[in-house]
A and B are shown apart, each in its own frame.
Chain A
Amino acid sequence: MNWIRRVFHKSPGEKSLDKELQFHLDRQIADYLAAGMHPEDARRRARLEFGTLESVKEEVRDTRWETSLEKVFRDFRYAARTLRKDRRFALAAVLVLALGIGATTAIFSVVNAALARPLPYRDPSRLAWADEFMPHINDWVVPNPEYTNWSANNRTFEAIAAYDGGGQANLTGVGEPERIETTAVTANFLTALGILPVRGRAFLPEEDRPDGPLAVLLADSIWRCKFNADSGIVGKSIELDGRSHAIVGVLPASFHFPDKR
């Protein structure tokens, strides 16, 4: 408790206590003087009776501390009693708390992901998002010719890359067949985000052409779960939807795309 006192060094309460005790002591001395005692004796006797000021102050502080603790416990007991007595009130209180905490957490998650947490890519402040609204399908999508056009006429950005997320494919040939999530990207996609594969290489320009070679980069999780973190994986191939794709590299474990966290 001493450190608490030191933190609140000489609070108004402390000064008031000093003054109060000093008053008592001085009054005692004055009374002894009035009774005809020698000034020196009066002072000594009063001091002896009083004991040290510090020890009296210590007692007072301890009492105050105990009472404030008592108050806290009393409040807790009262709260517990009220909750036990009135089940409906308790339920309502718990519900309100749950809703409040839930809503706050949900909003925080969104704000954290959307605003607070920087994008996990190199130079997130230099990344921009471009999209187009297609009224006839009522959706946001950039058609292939449009992207090609943007890329060809780009003088504003270092690079323009595109992706088509949310794809799925049947992975066969390794263990149990599995439905996995895929994202199709343009060849320069990883370079634009500043991501380097931990094994192998990024896509080559010819690999995003419609008739180009079929190539895949494995996510870290797939590489570990399906291929037992095979260190010689690069150069092998896998079957997606029955078509053979060359494995050209493995992505860093920190890279998730689209980022669902």
Chain B
Amino acid sequence: MAMGEPRTELLRGTLDMLILKVVALGPSHGYAIAQRLRQISKDFFQVHQGSLYPALHRLEDRGWLQAEWKESETGREAKFYSLTQKGRRQMGAEVAEWKRLCDAVGLFLRAPEQESQP
């Protein structure tokens, strides 16, 4: 992970969706979630702990994630997050919303430019 600020400022609310999506792959602890976010995005998203853990706890409080202390792959106890039914529904809603946003922005980007700028 790079030092300092994350390279890309995530849109507000996007981090929640990404976390839900990662956790949907299987129960995982905070460190693994951070690693996955990085790996899946090919190092594009680098989430700082100061953003990741508040988000995890917020999602847990909202009942979208549930947490459980379990033995991790190294044998040490870690807090594993998994997706709840409610969380799965929320993820579906957020993904759909995101797609609509992308489509809408895409329409603008594809619009032909009539006058070329000097």
Q: Do A and B belong to a common assembly?
A: yes
**Which residues of A approach B to under 8 Å, CB–CB?**
16-17, 19-21, 23-24, 26-28, 30, 45, 48-51, 55-56, 59-60, 62-64, 66-68, 71
CB-defined contacts of A16 to chain B, threshold 8 Å: 69, 79
Q: Say which residue of A24, A30, A45, A67 sits within 8 Å of B49 (CB atoms).
A: A24
CB-defined contacts of A56 to chain B, threshold 8 Å: 49-50, 53
Contact mask B50-76 → A, CB, 8 Å, 1/0?
110111011001100000010010101
CB-defined contacts of B53 to chain A, threshold 8 Å: 17, 20-21, 24, 56, 59-60
Q: With an 8 A cutoff between CB atoms, is B10 at the interface?
A: no
Please, how many angstroms separate the alpha-carbon atoms of A23 and B57 in the complex?
Answer: 16
Contact A49 B54 (CB under 8 A): no
| A interface, over-half SS | helix
Q: With an 8 A cutoff between CB atoms, is B1 at the interface?
A: yes
Q: How many residues of B contact A (CB 8 A)?
A: 24
Q: Say which residue of B31, B58, B61, B77 sits within 8 Å of A19 (CB atoms).
A: B77
CB-defined contacts of A24 to chain B, threshold 8 Å: 29-31, 34, 49, 53
7 intermolecular pairs with C-beta atoms under 8 Å apart: A23-B30, A24-B29, A27-B31, A50-B49, A62-B54, A63-B55, A64-B57
Chain B proximity of A57: nearest CB distance (Å)? 8
Q: With an 8 A cutoff between CB atoms, is B78 at the interface?
A: yes
Closest to A50 in B: B49
Contact B31 A63 (CB under 8 A): no
Closest to B32 in A: A27
Chain A proximity of B1: nearest CB distance (Å)? 6
Q: Say which residue of B49, B58, B69, B74 sits within 8 Å of A63 (CB atoms).
A: B58
Please, how many angstroms separate the alpha-carbon atoms of A136 and B72 in the complex?
Answer: 90
Contact A30 B57 (CB under 8 A): no
Chain B proximity of A104: nearest CB distance (Å)? 35
Q: With an 8 A cutoff between CB atoms, is B107 at the interface?
A: no
Contact B30 A60 (CB under 8 A): no
Please, how many angstroms separate the alpha-carbon atoms of A20 and B67 in the complex?
Answer: 11
